[in-house]
Structure 1
């Protein structure tokens, strides 16, 4: 059994601003030099990739990529300095979150605790109270264990 979770950043209005999908697209742009190449590498339609980037740019309020018009030399895309900073912060957030969740998971599911079926869905849209979505395992709320583990 494993714990499954998703993390992303939202703006003040609760609109999704940045997460794993846009991050992977930007990483792909760094590798291939184009949004088209990044989309193809992810098995995604170019139009969908473009919509994702444009939506993030509108929500964040800054450009994520610099677009180069095609022509005889071909076009391409490049990640902006702001996007590179955001990617670096997101990488650290993701790594620290994974480490903390892995440690708490091991504590909650040590051999002395019988494994029970559970559901953790703190990422559902429209939920104001995280505790509404957390179920109790062996009388220890997961949220309390997670929050107490954060330095």
Structure 2
């Protein structure tokens, strides 16, 4: 049996805006409290994580990730960051629910090794 999965990527003006990797990074930043710890947990370099955060922060009206106040270092999601995360997960669920039947039909037609 072929295992088909629906993944969601949102593009804006032909360029990737949000997808599974960026969303996972946002979740890890929120959980770990820093970009560095989130990068380590995901097995990516700090530089790569920072570039992804910068790319997200630059296209939304308000930054999604911000330094934690108090001078102790770390980072977390802004209110907009938490809202974007919630909206992405809602869109993902709606898409997955809507695609269940057609994906099952498609799966029945596949013979992928």
Please give the TM-score of this superposition, normalised by the length of structure 2.
Answer: 0.83
After the TM superposition, which parts of structure 1 deviate over 4 Å for at least 4 consecutive aligned residues?
none
Distance 1:16 1:9 in 2: 6
Distance 1:50 1:70 in 2: 21
Deviation, structure 1 residue 102: 2.1
1:105-144 map, 5 Å = 105-109=103-107, 115-117=109-111
DSSP 3-state at the match of 1:2: coil
DSSP 3-state at the match of 2:100: helix
Aligned residue in 2 for 1:60: 60
Change in CA separation of 1:65 and 1:49 when aligned onto 2, cut-off 3 Å: same
Aligned residue in 1 for 2:98: 100
User: Is there any run of 5+ residues in structure 2 with no aligned partner, and where?
Assistant: none
Whether contact under 8 Å (1:70, 1:76) holds in the other structure is no
Aligned residue in 2 for 1:20: 20
Aligned residue in 2 for 1:86: 84
Which structure has more helix as a fraction of its residues? 2
Between 100-109 and 52-61, the greater mean CA deviation after superposition: 100-109
Whether contact under 8 Å (1:9, 1:18) holds in the other structure is yes
Distance 1:70 1:47 in 2: 24
User: Is there any run of 5+ residues in structure 1 with no aligned partner, and where?
Assistant: 119-151
Aligned residues: 111
Higher relative contact order (CA closer than 8 Å, sequence separation 6+): 2
Please give the TM-score of this superposition, normalised by the length of structure 1.
Answer: 0.64
Deviation, structure 1 residue 106: 2.2
Distance 2:65 2:47 in 1: 15
- Report which of the two structures shows the higher radius of gyration computed on alpha carbons: 1
What's the Cα RMSD here? Answer: 2.3
Distance 1:104 1:53 in 2: 34
Whether contact under 8 Å (2:3, 2:107) holds in the other structure is no
